[in-house]
C-alpha cells in the first residue's frame, strides 16, 4: 500500500512513517518544514519528502492519506483530497488499526515526563530481552531512533493528550488501546485547544474509561488532578507511586542511589545517571509499569543503572573555554524549574545561565507568564528570546530584576550570553523547537572570544 503523510516531519508523524515503512508500505510525505534531522532520517529509510502542501500532490495517487494534527482546514492538499472524496485517516487511528492491534500497549501519559518515562520503560523491556516496539516523542540514546517495529507483543508509546486531527478533537491517547497506563502528572497546558484544566481532565477520564479491567494504572499519588480524574470512575486496578503504601523512593544516599519500596517492602535501590527528583519519579513509574509486563523490579533497576538518557534532555552540546552548553526540551514552567534543579544537582559549583525560548503554543499565548519568573529563579542569569511573542515578556520577568534580559534578535542574544559566560558556567538552553540553532552559535561565539 502507498501511504502519503501530511505533516510528516513532526516527531509523532515521523515515527508513524518509520513504522509504516517497517510494515512494508511505500511511504511518501510532505511538510512545510522539510529539514534535518528528521528529513535525513526519513530519507535514509527510503521515504520521499515533498516541501509544502500543494494540491497537486493528489496526483501521487496514494491508497491512503494519513493526516497529522498540525494540518487544519484551509490547507490546500487537505481541501483537495476532501473535495475529491479521497480516503484519509488520522495518525493515531492508523497506528491503532495497523500497529497496536493485538499488542500489549504500555502507554505513558501526563503533562511532563512522557518522553523520559517511555524511554526508560522501553529500555527496561529491552534489557529484559523483550525487544519492545515503541513510538516516543524523542530519541532515546540507547536506541538511536524514536520509533521501532518488532515482532514482540509489547509496544511502548508516549500517550499525548493533544488532539488527534482536524476531524477528531479527542486526545491522541484514546486510540491506543492501552493495557498498562502510566499517569505521571496533570497540569494545565495546550491553551490553544483546551479552555481549562477541567477540559484536559475530561480527556484523561475518557482514557481511563476504555482501559481493560485486566490492565493496570500506575498513577502519581502527589497529583490532586489525577485523583480527581480517577475519582470520577475507574474500572482498572491502580498502583500508586510516590506513595508510602505503594511505590516509593527513599532519600539519596552517599552513592547517589535511593531505596525502592513497594507495599512497605524494600525491593532494591535505584541508581540513575539522569539528575533530578523528577527523573527519579519517572524511573519509579517505569519500574512499576514494567513489573506489570513481567519484568521483576530487580531487573528493571539493573536496566536503569545503565540507562543512557534521551537526546534534548540535559544533553551536553559542547564545552568551550570551560563553559558547557546544554540542550533541553523544557518549555512549561514546571518543567523549566525541574530542569534547572536537575542541572544544579548534577554540577559541582558554577553558575547556571538559562537561555529560554517560550515557543510552545501555551507560552506563545502568555497563559503561563505569571509562573515564569519563579520557574527561572534557580538560575543566576536568564536570557529570554521573545521574537514574535504577543505579550510583554520584559514585564513578566521584571520580578527577576537585572538577572533577566530579553532579546528579539538572536544574534544579540548570542553575543550577550557569550559575553556574560565565564569559565565554570553552565549554559542551559531550553526550547521545544530548533531555537535558530542557538546551541551551535553559542559554542562558536565562545570559541572566538
**Per-residue pLDDT tens digits for 124-159:** 999 999 999 999 988 898 998 889 999 999 999 999
Contact 94, 66 (CB under 8 A): yes
CATH superfamily of 315-447: Mur ligase, C-terminal domain (3.90.190.20)
Which stretch of 40-54, 77-91, 121-135, 217-231 has the lowest confidence by average pLDDT?
A: 40-54
Contact 203, 161 (CB under 8 A): yes
Q: Enumerate residues 6+ apart whose C-beta is below 8 A from 325.
A: 316, 317, 318, 319, 427, 429, 439, 442, 443, 446
Could you give the CA distance from residue 350 to residue 137 in angstroms, rounded to a whole number? 31
pLDDT at 36 over 80: no
Global confidence as pTM: 0.87
Q: Where in the chain is the domain with CATH 3.90.190.20?
A: 315-447
pLDDT at 297 over 80: yes
Q: Where in the chain is the domain with CATH 3.40.50.720?
A: 2-92
Tell me phi and psi for residue 262, to 5 degrees.
-135, 125
CATH number assigned to the domain with residue range 102-304, chosen from the 4 options 3.40.640.10, 3.40.50.410, 3.40.1190.10, 3.30.2270.10: 3.40.1190.10
Measured over the CA atoms of residue 77, residue 80, residue 86 and residue 90, the dihedral's sign is positive
Per the prediction, the chain carries an average pLDDT of 92
**Per-residue pLDDT tens digits for 183-199:** 999 988 887 788 899 99
CATH superfamily of 2-92: NAD(P)-binding Rossmann-like Domain (3.40.50.720)
Tell me phi and psi for residue 349, to 5 degrees.
80, -175
Q: Where in the chain is the domain with CATH 3.40.1190.10?
A: 102-304
Amino acid at each position: 500500500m502507498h501511504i502519503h503523510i501530511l505533516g510528516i516531519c513532526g516527531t509523532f508523524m515521523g515515527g508513524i512513517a518509520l513504522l509504516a515503512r517497517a510494515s512494508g508500505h511505500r511511504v511518501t510525505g510532505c511538510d512545510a518544514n522539510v529539514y534535518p534531522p528528521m528529513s535525513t532520517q526519513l530519507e535514509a529509510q527510503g521515504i520521499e519528502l515533498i516541501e509544502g502542501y500543494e494540491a497537486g500532490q493528489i496526483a501521487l495517487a496514494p491508497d491512503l492519506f494519513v493526516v497529522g494534527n498540525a494540518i487544519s482546514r484551509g490547507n490546500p492538499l487537505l481541501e483537495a483530497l476532501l473535495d475529491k472524496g479521497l480516503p484519509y485517516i488520522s495518525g493515531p487511528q492508523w497506528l491503532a488499526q495497523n500497529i497496536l492491534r493485538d499488542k500489549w500497549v504500555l502507554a505513558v501519559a501526563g503533562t511532563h515526563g512522557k518522553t523520559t518515562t517511555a524511554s526508560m520503560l522501553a529500555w527496561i523491556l529491552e534489557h529484559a530481552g523483550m525487544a519492545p516496539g515503541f513510538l516516543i516523542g524523542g530519541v532515546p540514546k540507547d536506541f538511536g531512533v524514536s520509533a521501532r517495529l518488532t515482532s514482540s507483543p509489547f509496544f511502548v508509546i508516549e500517550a499525548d493528550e493533544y488532539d488527534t486531527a482536524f476531524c477528531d478533537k479527542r486526545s491522541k491517547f484514546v486510540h491506543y488501546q492501552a493495557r498498562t497506563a502510566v499517569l505521571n502528572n496533570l497540569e494545565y497546558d495546550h491553551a490553544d485547544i483546551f479552555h481549562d484544566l477541567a477540559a484536559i481532565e475530561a480527556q484523561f477520564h475518557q482514557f481511563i474509561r476504555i482501559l481493560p479491567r485486566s490492565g493496570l494504572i500506575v498513577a502519581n499519588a502527589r497529583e490532586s488532578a489525577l485523583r480527581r480524574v480517577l475519582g470520577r470512575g475507574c474500572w482498572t486496578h491502580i498502583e500508586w507511586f510516590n506513595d508510602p503504601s505503594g511505590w516509593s523512593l527513599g532519600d539519596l544516599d552517599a552513592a547517589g542511589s535511593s531505596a525502592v519500596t513497594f507495599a512497605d517492602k524494600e525491593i532494591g535501590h535505584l541508581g540513575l545517571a539522569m539528575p533530578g527528583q523528577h527523573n527519579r519519579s519517572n524511573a519509579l513509574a517505569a519500574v512499576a509499569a514494567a513489573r506489570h509486563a513481567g519484568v521483576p523490579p530487580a531487573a528493571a533497576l539493573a536496566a536503569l543503572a545503565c540507562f543512557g538518557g534521551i537526546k534534548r534532555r540535559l544533553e551536553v552540546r559542547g564545552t568551550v573555554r570551560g563553559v558547557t552548553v546544554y540542550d533541553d526540551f523544557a518549555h512549561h514552567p514546571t518543567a523549566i524549574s525541574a530542569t534547572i534543579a536537575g542541572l544544579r544537582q548534577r554540577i559541582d559549583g558554577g553558575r547556571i545561565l538559562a537561555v529560554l525560548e517560550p515557543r510552545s503554543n501555551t507560552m506563545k499565548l502568555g497563559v503561563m507568564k505569571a509562573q515564569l519568573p519563579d520557574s527561572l529563579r534557580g538560575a543566576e542569569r536568564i536570557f529570554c528570546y521573545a521574537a514574535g511573542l504577543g505579550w510583554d515578556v520584559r514585564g513578566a520577568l521584571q520580578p527577576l530584576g537585572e538577572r533577566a534580559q530579553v532579546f528579539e534578535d538572536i544574534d544579540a542574544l548570542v553575543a550577550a550570553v557569550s559575553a556574560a559566560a565565564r569559565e565554570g558556567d553552565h549554559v542551559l538552553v531550553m526550547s521545544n523547537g530548533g531555537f535558530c540553532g542557538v546551541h551551535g552559535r553559542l559554542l562558536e561565539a565562545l570559541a572566538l572570544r
